[in-house]
Amino acid sequence: QVQLVESGGGSVQAGGSLRLSCAAYGYIYSTQCMGWFRQAPGKEREGVAAIDTGAGATSYADSVKGRFTISQDNAKSTVYLQMNSLKPEDTAMYYCAAGLWAGSRCYALDRADFGYWGQGTQVTVSS
């Protein structure tokens, strides 16, 4: 069993920055991939960024490329999402997720490949 706890959400003006954190607890060695997803009201949950925890390689949704950076601190079992140049359309509940698959199944950010989820942290960007 893996538990994920997000933190770092909040309210910011457009153009600002936030850093989300996701601390993992439990049998984390079973996971090969960590991802960030977001869900805005009335919309589907969408993948934002993923990191293959073994290779360290990353992938991003087109909408956040060049603005968001996913990283990991293995010593702390924590994954981060640095969000810069935030836009009002980035407003959503952000969820951390852990998956069993490395490589292409990690980078594809398919919700079905992530078996563990955090409770979410709200990000609100005002114009």
Name the average pLDDT for the chain.
95
Structure confidence at residue 74 (pLDDT): 85
* 91 within 8 A of 123, measured Cβ to Cβ: yes
Rg of the chain over CA atoms, in angstroms? 13
CB 97 within 8 A of CB 120: no
Average pLDDT (67-75) is 94
pLDDT surpasses 90 at 28: no
Indicate whether 29 pLDDT > 80. no
Residue 26 pLDDT > 90, yes or no?
Answer: no
